[in-house]
Amino acid sequence: MKRTIAGVVLAGGQSRRFGRPKAFALHQGAPFFTWSVAALDPIADELYIVSHPSLIDEFRRQTDIPVLLDVERYRGCGPLAGIYTVMEQSRADWVFVLPCDMPYMRREVAERLRSYIDPTFDAIVPLHGGRPEPLVALYHRRLSHLIAELLDAGERRMAALLDRARVRYVDAKQLAGDEDVWRNVNTEEEYRYGREFWPKQT
């Protein structure tokens, strides 16, 4: 049976360190968020953007992709709330999330990660440098109840979800030979000058 995937770009952060909404900064002439969309589009049965109320009008000017706000109960509660919101909106089996600030992400990486889907697991998560990349990952919709339980308890950390879910971890080296795809742009200096200002990998 075909497994359906909802592709989700998470764009609800305040971009405080960047100083302006990162989703609309340009990389090679296109807004950051469109690179995440391009990585997800070939493998997703439906696409969503989860954003902040202050950004929703600009997203709607720039794209026809449905733009969602977190369900009111969990509004402002971070990525877990965004994932839960899409699980409430969509009937897809899996939610594939990407952040809006990883303009070097590529379609091939998303395709390879999708190939690791296994229904005996609740989440498929890359391990990059030995650390999970929970915002570049797939989550089964059965996790919606656990996410709600965590949020109701005031727990917003993605790590808390991974601790309680059945996670299939995938070595990032199996997904991409290029380290750049895992870079997210946090500051104006990183944006303007690239590698020179990126933190060193440990």
**154 annotated to a ligand binding site:** no
Write out the CATH class of domain 5-197.
alpha beta
Tokens representing 140 are 């089964």
- For residues 45 and 141, the answer to whether their CB atoms sit within 8 Å is no
Torsion angle of C-alpha atoms 35, 36, 42, 43, degrees rounded to 10? 170
**118 annotated to a ligand binding site:** no
**123 annotated to a ligand binding site:** no
Which carries the bigger pLDDT value, residue 202 or residue 188? 188
**165 annotated to a ligand binding site:** no
So where are the chain's domains?
A: 5-197
Tokens representing 83 are 């994932």
Computed from CA positions of residues 103, 107, 112, 118, in that sequence, does the dihedral angle turn out positive or negative? positive
Query: pLDDT (tens digit, 9 = 90+) per residue, 59-115?
Result: 999 999 999 999 999 999 999 999 999 999 999 999 999 999 999 999 999 999 999
Tokens representing 200 are 């060193």
